[in-house]
Each structure stands twice: as C-alpha cells, then as structure tokens.
Structure 1
Amino acid sequence: MMDQPTVFSDEFDLDSRWLVDPKLLFVGPKIGEGAHAKVYEGKYKNQNVAIKVFHKGETPEEIAKRGSRFAREVSMLTRVQHKNLVKFIGACKEPVMVVVTELLLGGSLRKYLLSLRPRPLDIRVAVGFALDIAQAMECLHSHGIIHRDLKPENLLLTADQKTVKLVDFGLAREETLTEMMTAETGTYRWMAPELYSTVTLRHGEKKHYNHKVDAYSFAIVLWELLHNRTPFEEC
C-alpha cells in the first residue's frame, strides 16, 4: 500500500489525536472501489477496520482536488459521531492519504436489496432502516453538514444486518446561507433537481442549495426500501 509520498496542501493539519501509524496498518483484500479511492479490509492495532486509500492523481490539479476531498472527509468525520454514522478511527496523509473506519460486515444496502429482489422488504425492516438513515441525516444537518450523496451504496449494514450506517463523506459540505456549491454533485437517480440543470453547466459552475437536497435523496431511498426496485428504472 505504501507508495510514493502524496503532495498535499499544508493548509490541512491533521489533529494528532486522529493520526494513525501507517506501520501498524495491515491491508487485506479489496472490498470496494470508487473514482477517488479504494477500500480494503484490514487491521489496525489488532482491530478489524476498513482502510480507504485515496488515489494520488496524475496532474497537480488532480492531486490538489483529491487532497481537498481527503481533508473534507476527515474534517467531517472528526466533527460528528452517531450510532448511525460509520465510526472514524483515524487517518494519515503520508506516505499515502488513508482514512480508517470501523469495518461493517453486513454489506451495502444496495447489495442487501438486490439479494431479496423481486421480493420487497418486510415493512418493519424497511421502517427500521429508514429510521436509522433519518437519524444519521438529522445528526449531520444539526451540525450544518450536507452529505450530498445519499444512496444505497453509501449505506452499510452491521454484521447482523439489523442496523444501517451512513458512510463516504467525500462529497459532504458545510451548509451556509451564502456559500455557492458545485452543481452536478452526487448520483443522478438519487439527486435533487437543484443539483443539476437542463442547461449544460460549465465545468465547476456553482449554484446555491441547502440540506433539502439530502431530504430529496432520502425520499428516493425510502421509496426503494418500500418497493425494492431501482428508482426511475424505466429511464
């Protein structure tokens, strides 16, 4: 795992309380991969953990962008703790950018739904999951944080598959009345209309929105929990 040092902005200083020693990280099999990082099952100080390793980036612009994403995710994880948010264990910036969290062995909500399809969830299970998700979002919003990417892939189950926890804060942002945030953020089937436009947006164009974008995504996930179908599957 330990590759060449990643160039990183000095503006982000990782609190020593959350600094993990990369020499104590044991990296096991890969359990997930996205555009910005790979996630591995592993151990840290004999504790089973999930290890998210951020891609370095090839150009100075990519390196800076991934550094900002890493800094944002760590900042959000250190600010909020809740039983329905993945537990943050620590992070390190060198020799690569790594975020370490608890390991959730129940798989993603998406995988769970697909395993049952075409059968719907038991209504009590669906409501229980919905309440878990709502409480996670309420915690974030009470701290002025918008997740911006609420979807079944970012909702993981505990080993007994009875509790849902929200993960992946790479797109999360602080909500302010004046901040203009990047449009076209998230995954289209779960995105609120104000996150995209019928008019093609210029790269990096900004527009204002608030925590209600998460409420829209929650409504789509709730529909999915009740029907066990892909949203807008006819599109």
Structure 2
Amino acid sequence: MSCGEESKEGRDDQGEFKQTARKNSVELGSQLEKHPVTQNGLIPTPQFQIDEKLLIDPKLLYVGSKIGEGAHGKVYEGRYCDQVIAVKVLNSGSTPEEKAKLEGRFIREVTMMSRVKHENLVKFIGACKDPFMVIATELLPGMSLRKYLLTIRPKQLDLCVAIGFALDIARAMDCLHANGIIHRDLKPDNLLLTENQKSVKLADFGLAREESVTEMMTAETGTYRWMAPEQVRPSLPEDLSPDLAFIIQSCWVEDPNVRPSFSQIIRMLNQFLFTLTPPLPESDASKVAAPSRDGVITESSARARGKFSFLRQLFAARRARNSH
C-alpha cells in the first residue's frame, strides 16, 4: 500500500492521533498567533536551502501527545504514513535576528542528520518547513539514558552494560567524526535507549557543526555538566579497575592531540570488556575468539593486558613528542 493510500484500520489509528492532536492544537495555535499569517494560514518563512528530497508532506503528518521538551523545541509522538515517529517542532523565534538564527540551526540539523546513517544514531525520516520547522525521526520506545539512570537509583549500571553503552556512544561519535561532524552536546539526555534497554542511540543535532567550521566556545556550545574534559575532570572511584581508569584518563589528557580517537576507544573498550568475561577452559586458552562486530579480534586476558601495555607506551610516546 502506498503512502497516500489508507486502510480502514489505518484511518482509525490516524483518527486517534487526530484526537490527541486536538489537545495540542491550542498550544501550537498559540505560537501561530504570535506571528503574521498568509491567506493560507501559514507562517511566511524565507526560502530554506534544504534538499527537496528531505522534505515530507505535512498533510500526511499527524501529531500526538507531547513526550519531551528542550531549549530549542518540543517533541511529540506522531505518525507519518503508517509509521509511528517522533516529531520535533523547533522554536521559531520572536525577532528577525532570532528567526534567522533558528532557521539556520534547523537547516544545519536537517542537513547533517540526513548525511549520516548508523545503528547508534537516531534515524532521520524527513523534515517540514511550513507552517513550522519540524524534524521527523524514528521513535525509540525506551527513555533517555538520564531518566533510566534515575529510575535505577540507588543501584548502578552493571559494568558490562555500562561498557556496552560506552561502546554504542563511541561508535556513534566515530561515525560522526568520520563524516566531519562534531556533535557538541553529548550528554545522557541526548542518548535514547532502545526498547530492550540493551543499547543506546545518539540524538539531537541541534548544536552540531561541521568540523571545517571554526568558532569560539559560546554559551550554546554544549551543556555545562557535560562539557569537554578541558572544563572539569571528576575524581575516579578508588575501586575502579586500573585498565578502565587508564582508558578514562587517556581521554582526559590535557593535550587534545594526544587523546585517543573514538576508533581507538572502541578497541580499548572491546579489549577491556573481554577481560570481564569468565576465563576460558585451559584447553581453549590458546584459541582466539571470533571477530566482534567492529572487526576487533578478542584474545585471552593476558594478551588483552599486553594490548593495554602497548597502548600506554603509545600514548606516552605521543605525549613525549608533543612536549618537545
């Protein structure tokens, strides 16, 4: 069935979304009242430089209940064609200068989200520019990592689960950096859990920039508690594994050029994760395990520790070179 065709069941589902949307219409309508409208009832917006292929038909977009809100917009559950989605409605601004700034951010976010595809990045579906600036993405049934951590208090994440999440984040960031994109707002609020709560995906490209764009750090560059290590370095638990402490501290080296890349972090985390698994029987101790999904060959714990020793020497050598 094509996107424009609807079954009776589909019309019933969309009817439910329309009923829920009416509850939000007052809230969305109040935004419209703040701006002049055209004869068609649409906000007159300037021509955006967005590839037409990235735009979706707003007539097929249904908005349901609000599920989140941030500094730059609100997020609703919605439906596009036969797919349940997340609908991010961006703020439009109140002054010409603010409008231009927010429109530029919208263009940038849409363009960059459409450029990258990865299992640990929230999937981009499409965008609308009238009557509101809207970005449609896949809807993840799980909550944000921040909310999840709050729900399990006072317990802490199992170490293997925590390393798994760290690997997901590193893979997502590695993909972005490989495509010349700097996220600039990596934090638990922007990490969404999958339905089984076994994996996380990175969302919200609102503050992302292309690597070629150079600019000063500003108030909008990230969130205070989750700034880069130049800003703050918290103390580590005394009972933390020395190998894991090394991985963390290597990311905190004062010289950014000496810090490991995300691809190196992925390799180190994979090696550390293997040391947490039960030891192999003696008859299998010399065998090498199958490659992981990142293509990293996992080895025995002894060889893994040797790898950490090599990496320590590598980073020490790089620090020595950069100090001269």
Tell me the TM-score normalized by structure 1: 0.78
Equivalent residue number for residue 174 of structure 1: 210
How far did 1:181 drift?
A: 3.9
SS of the aligned residue for 2:77 comes to strand
How far did 1:9 drift?
A: 4.4
C-alpha distance in 2, partners of 1:7/1:71?
16
SS of the aligned residue for 1:179 comes to coil
Unaligned runs of at least 5 residues, structure 1: 197-208, 223-235
Equivalent residue number for residue 201 of structure 2: 165
C-alpha distance in 1, partners of 2:109/2:43?
17
Which of the two has greater helix per residue?
2
Query: Structure 1 residues 147, 7: closer, same or farther in 2, change over 3 A?
Result: farther
How far did 1:153 drift?
A: 0.1
User: Structure 2 residue aligned with 1:151, among 183, 187, 203?
Assistant: 187
Query: Structure 1 residues 127, 191: closer, same or farther in 2, change over 3 A?
Result: same
SS of the aligned residue for 1:112 comes to helix
Cα deviations across residues 131-156 of structure 1 (Å, max 9, x unaligned)? 00000000001111110000000000
C-alpha distance in 2, partners of 1:24/1:57?
26
Q: Which amino acid aligns with 1:157?
A: L
Residue range with higher mean Cα deviation, 12-21 or 103-112:
12-21
C-alpha distance in 2, partners of 1:186/1:142?
20
Equivalent residue number for residue 83 of structure 2: 47
How far did 1:8 drift?
A: 4.2
C-alpha distance in 2, partners of 1:91/1:182?
29
Contact 2:61 2:80 in 1 (8 A): yes
Tell me the TM-score normalized by structure 2: 0.58
Cα deviations across residues 97-150 of structure 1 (Å, max 9, x unaligned)? 100000011010001101111111111111111100000000001111110000
1:107 equivalent to 2:155? Answer no
Equivalent residue number for residue 307 of structure 2: none
C-alpha distance in 2, partners of 1:195/1:181?
14
Contact 2:122 2:202 in 1 (8 A): yes
Which of the two has greater strand per residue?
1
Unaligned runs of at least 5 residues, structure 2: 1-27, 233-255, 270-324
Query: Structure 1 residues 146, 23: closer, same or farther in 2, change over 3 A?
Result: same
Equivalent residue number for residue 167 of structure 2: 131
Query: Structure 1 residues 172, 6: closer, same or farther in 2, change over 3 A?
Result: farther
Equivalent residue number for residue 305 of structure 2: none
How far did 1:18 drift?
A: 1.5
The structure showing larger relative contact order (alpha-carbon pairs under 8 Å, at least 6 residues apart) is 1
